[in-house]
Amino acid sequence: MTYLFAVVAAYLLGSIPVRPWFGKVRKGLIRTPVAEKELWILALEMAKGILAASAGFLLAGWTGASLAAVAVVFGEIVPLGSARRRGNGAATAAGALFVLSPLLIFIGALIYFLSLLITRYPPFSILCAAIGVLLFGLILSVHLYVWLVILCLVGLILLRPGNGRNRYFSGRNPFRWRPFR
């Protein structure tokens, strides 16, 4: 019963739309320039993942934390409310995996920032970081359930519905190589 409670609570926490609530606030909670506002939103999305995985750990141990990590990212990608308020789940997954394996998130952040520095293309950087975390998780993780959680989270992030891959492949928004710009 505690596993079910942890999963449902994590899913509901993941369904909270951070970007629509805090991203478009002009005179409200966050009165900062755009770059600082994006960092606040990123921090809040990571906090959702950290909070859900920590609550799952406190309620049901490591298995509960693993199930809560998958549930919070699933709640971010497929929320209860409007389908237009979906997030990409990368920051939430990073926050949830921070509880399970902080070393892997450090490696993933390093891969993300290096590929972002080289290409200046965030979707490609997310792809590189997700694949890097998956491969390093296979090498470094001691427990099988951590690798299964990483596999589920990477699959949810990369295969989420409506993530805009078709717009890049159809030529409407082509990839442009812009190194160190």
The CA distance from 172 to 1, in Å, is 48
Give the chain's domain count: 1
Q: Is residue 61 domain-resident?
A: yes
| Mean of all residue pLDDT scores within the chain | 79
Supply 56's token pair.
């799952």
What is the band of 152 on the pLDDT scale with cuts at 50, 70, 90?
Answer: confident
The CA distance from 72 to 47, in Å, is 11
The CA distance from 34 to 19, in Å, is 12
Check whether 66 has a pLDDT greater than 70.
yes
Q: Is residue 29 domain-resident?
A: yes
Q: What are phi and psi of 76, to 5 degrees?
A: -70, -40
Q: What are phi and psi of 53, to 5 degrees?
A: -70, -35
Q: Is residue 32 domain-resident?
A: yes
What is the band of 29 on the pLDDT scale with cuts at 50, 70, 90?
Answer: low
Check whether 118 has a pLDDT greater than 60.
yes
Q: Is residue 7 domain-resident?
A: yes
Check whether 147 has a pLDDT greater than 50.
yes
Q: Is residue 178 domain-resident?
A: no
Full residue range of the structural domain in which residue 123 is found: 2-169
Q: Is residue 179 domain-resident?
A: no
What is the band of 53 on the pLDDT scale with cuts at 50, 70, 90?
Answer: very high
Q: Is residue 176 domain-resident?
A: no
Q: Is residue 162 domain-resident?
A: yes
**Identity of the amino acid at 45:** E
